[in-house]
Amino acid sequence: MKISFHPKLLDCLPGYTQAQLGKDIASGITIGVLALPLAMAFAIASGVSPAAGIWTAIVAGFIISALGGSRVQIGGPTGAFIPIIYGIVATYGFGNLLIATMLSGIFLLAMGIFRMGQLIRFIPVSVVIGFTNGIAVVIFMAQIKDFLGLQIDSLPPEFFSKIKTLAASFHLIHWPTLALSLASLAFLLFYNRMAQVPRLAYLRRAPGPLAVLVLATATTALLDLPVETIGSRFGGIPQGFPGISLPPLSLETLGKLISPAITIALLGAIESLLSARVADSSIEDRHDPNQELIAQGLANIAAPLFGGFAATGAIARTATNIRSGGRTPIAGMVHSLVLLAMVLILAPLASYIPLATLSAIVVVVAVNMGEWHEFKKLRRFSNNYRAILLSTFFVTVIFDLTLAVELGMVLSCLFFIYRMSELTRIERLPLKEHEREPVFLHPDGSLRIAAWRLYGSLFFGAVNKLEALLDPHAGHPEVVILDMQSLIQLDTTGLEGLENLLNQLQKRGCTLIVCGLNSQPGSLLYRSGFIDHLGDENVCPDLTAALARAGELLPPLQEDEA
């Protein structure tokens, strides 16, 4: 197998202009400024330190841009990972999260090497919408603790236990924290709406999350508000480079982490390729899904060495990059360098950042990431579509993403099989032009031949429909013609059904003739030896030739029979 490794950056460097460099640098600075509060907020919501989120954005973001298959993809921690990361940390601890992240990187790397990028697109949109909305609900629920200032050591990952814990602590709302959370939320919503007004477009230069973060941090520091901050909970953010190290590993631990790692890899692949596909439509380009998965894999292997965790393509930051004029991977690489500079220079100031404001930022992200309008449109679609979407949604919220995607895919496959089996038909063909030919008639006037036409796909979900040809009520023909001109696909179970039909007809002294074979069914019938059993002379190009062959096979009736 030939491994293809061709980052999009290599395609962008020839003909790269100074003007585009200026746009990429400006866009990279904008995205870097936006990524700082998001990286910290996502990390804290995931149950890890804000520094872990920042170094994830720096290391993984740089690798995804430099080695990825998209011109404009921005990588880093995302909201979709929050419930997964939180559950892993709660169950296995932060050290094992790093191992699970590296394992997911190996899985993503393998998916890219074995060119599985296109397979991600086979996931039905109903499943994607279901788990996306479910993740949004889970993220929102996880923010209730910090949004209200509840004094809870840690929320249990299980849904009903989480509800019970929140309900039991609801009377302990910390009112200064709630006031700051509501103020931050209101400011963020108002700011984002005002930034959409054409005459206030200059507000877009300072992203909403950064604006509210600066304002809330300054207010908290100047007024000495009695709210929890990054400094009070985490001791601030270390200034300087983290030590590169490998987390301890054992075979017992490795076995337990395979399932979480697969979940991270699956979600990372889906989100990054969805983000790249959305970006393609905006810049009229086409990403390389396999190269993108390779970059995602390398990023998730490298980030844990610096204390980072799972990363993927971020749709919102990628869209902002496009709006800001970024058109090459240089913009994403600059964004990582801007984050690095901010950590090295401004880290001491991060101690004053209030967790309530970061919680408000994540709440807005959760609300915006959900495609809530799809619930209103459910009545327009089939019951199958509704069942898949709602099942995936509720299982994501109540249990976990892996089970939700598995259930959604199983339901999708079952409904598809049922639909395909409904489209497969076997119909009796009238032979009116032969009803008066004595050679084709039994003494009672019934035809000595029966012709049937197959439509659609003869596969394991529809092979039972061949039973109609053996129905005693269909008469006792001496020749059965099977017209396959409308049969587009045949699988091995369908082949077995045809072999059984041939054997049953031969036991009755009846001859089977097939005609109108298309390429795929014909190829399988010849390769399997079915045609050898049937006889080449009983394979005809069309129905007319098959009827002529039937006439040759039917012996003339005796006078007493006639």
Q: Where are the domains of the chain?
A: 18-394, 426-553
What CA–CA distance (Å, rounded) separates 303 from 300?
5
The closest of 231, 501, 293 to 514, measured between CA atoms, is 501
Most confident of 1-5, 66-70, 364-368: 66-70
The sheet with strand 425-429 has its strands ordered as 425-429, 449-458, 479-490, 511-515, 539-540
Cα separation, 131 vs 137, in Å, equals 10
- Nearest in space to 233 (alpha carbons), one of 317, 321, 307, 145: 145
Residues 203-233: tens digit of each pLDDT: 767 788 888 999 999 999 999 999 999 999 9
Nearest to 479 by CA among 431, 530, 527: 431
C-alpha span between 320 and 409 (Å, rounded): 32
Burial (CB count <10 Å: 0-12, 13-18, 19+), residue 43: buried
245 pLDDT exceeds 80? no
Between CA 220 and CA 180 the distance in angstroms is: 9
pLDDT of residue 426: 93
Report yes or no: 484 and 546 within 8 Å, Cβ to Cβ. Answer: no
- pLDDT-based confidence at 78, cuts 50/70/90? very high
Q: Identify the weakest region by mean pLDDT among 42-56, 438-452, 494-508, 542-556.
A: 438-452
User: Which pLDDT score is estimated for 226?
Assistant: 94
Q: What 8-state DSSP symbol labels residue 201?
A: G
Query: Residue 498 is which amino acid?
Result: L
Judged against a pLDDT cut of 70, whether residue 197 lies above it is answered with: yes
Residue 288 near residue 73 (C-beta atoms within 8 A): no
CA 102 to CA 309: how far, in whole Å? 8
The pLDDT > 90 percentage for the chain reads 65
Question: Which helix (H) or strand (E) segment is 432 a member of?
Answer: none
**Number of helical (H) and strand (E) elements in the chain, helices listed first:** 22, 7
| Mean predicted confidence (pLDDT) in 173-197 | 91
What is the token pair recorded at 414?
Answer: 């079952």
Place of tokens 């200026």: 22
Query: For 285-291, what is the mean pLDDT?
Result: 93
Lowest mean pLDDT segment, chosen from 116-130, 182-196, 239-253, 399-413 = 239-253
Sequence-distant (6+) residues with CB within 8 A of 350 are 40, 50, 230, 231, 236, 237
What's the chain's average pLDDT?
90
pLDDT-based confidence at residue 103 (cuts at 50, 70, 90): very high
The closest alpha carbon to 38, from 260, 342, 244, belongs to: 342
Write down how long the chain is.
Answer: 562
Q: What is the mean pLDDT of residues 134-155?
A: 90
Say yes or no to pLDDT of 71 above 50.
yes
CA distances to 156, 295, 450, 543 from 456, in Å:
51, 41, 20, 18
pLDDT of 293 strictly over 80: yes
- The whole-number pLDDT of residue 443 equals 63
Euclidean distance between CA atoms 522 and 96, whole angstroms: 54
- pLDDT tens for 123-138 read 898 998 998 899 999 9
Residue 186: other Cβ atoms inside 10 A: 12
Residue (of 350, 339, 365) closest to 192 by Cα position? 365
> Both tokens of residue 135?
């993740």
Helix 289-302 and helix 50-67: axis angle, to 10°? 140
- 450 burial class (0-12, 13-18, 19+ CB within 10 angstroms)? buried
- Distance in angstroms (rounded) separating the CA atoms of residues 321 and 334: 11
Q: What predicted TM-score, i.e. pTM, was given to this entire model?
A: 0.82
Query: Tens digits of per-residue pLDDT, 460-514?
Result: 999 999 988 887 766 678 899 999 999 999 999 999 999 999 999 999 899 999 9
**Residue 463, pLDDT score:** 93
pLDDT at 562 over 60: no
What pLDDT sits at residue 444? 62
User: Sign of the CA dihedral 193, 197, 200, 204?
Assistant: positive
CATH of domain 426-553: 3.30.750.24
pLDDT grade for 1, boundaries at 50, 70 and 90: low
How far, CA to CA in Å, does 18 sit from each of 23, 24, 27, 543?
9, 10, 14, 69
- Residues sharing a CB contact under 8 Å with residue 422, sequence separation 6 or more, in sequence order: none
* pLDDT 10s digits, 475-484: 678 899 999 9
pLDDT digits (tens, 9 = 90+) for 304-343: 999 999 999 998 899 889 988 899 999 999 999 999 999 9
